[in-house]
Structure 1
Amino acid sequence: MRPLYAAVCVGLASALAASGCATPAPASESTGQIVLADAGDPGEFNPVSGYGSTGVSPLYEGLLRPVAADDSTLPRLEPALAAQEPEVSADGLTWTVRLRDGVHFHDGSLLDSGDVAATYRAVADPRSASPIASDYSPIARVDTPDPLTV
């Protein structure tokens, strides 16, 4: 029985190795799309569920993104959806974020401060049972004085 088991294992290993060696489609056949594969449940890609809470996501941007020169350097935060670094009040209790103008969702609609506020409010809402809600508990409220300011 062992020779049969070994033959099956070698056959499967060969098939797996060959499947990784497919030649890419010629440039003329390119679809202009990026395909991402992940083993997670698609429902887990929701930011309210904690997906991308570290600021790193292949699917969408946060207000800020971590950037480091290499893996041994502590990352700094730079604006992503924010137009600039947040303005912090003298007492440190109020942070004002100005959004980049002209940012669109995949459906063509414009991102505005209401979208950002809705995400923060959904995370804080006990009905969402967000696993990252406690990370945002210091936030007393989210205001949107204009479409590009949170």
Structure 2
Amino acid sequence: MERSTVRGLALPGLLTALMERGLWRHPGDEVLAEAVPWFQDPLVLVSSAEQMESASRSMDMFADDPYCAFFREARGSRADTPLELPWLDVEQAVLIAVTRDPGADGALALDYRTDPSDPRVVGSDFWTDPLLCRWRVVAPTFSAFVTSMGL
């Protein structure tokens, strides 16, 4: 099994295996709502490395626009101090799920700041404070996220 890369980051072996076997698919809205109870918009899983690459480009736009601090996305290489949650370091992240409705801007991401082989999963939270997005932990590892969804 060859590991796919997105944005120069190796996807977890488990994710690559699930995609290759056709098992990285939406488990149902109810299951995702249990895995991410605070996330209010319906999500779709990004189904391939190519689509993850494309979806993840949206992070660059927000990180590179100084007037878009609302999304709390930045480049760690440009920060004076290490970026920590509630900020997302777009250079260390890959989007794996996005909101079903275009324009809703919500997402789940692999956050490689914790572990390059089994990164944590974080999600954008627009509901706790509607004036400012906050990235928060969905699962401490990708493998725990997969287990929580029954994949």
TM over 0.5: no
Higher relative contact order (CA 8 A, sep 6+): 2
Please tell me the TM-score bracket, short chain as reference: under 0.3
Structure that is richer in strand per residue: 2
TM-score norm. by structure 1 comes to: 0.24
TM-score norm. by structure 2 comes to: 0.24
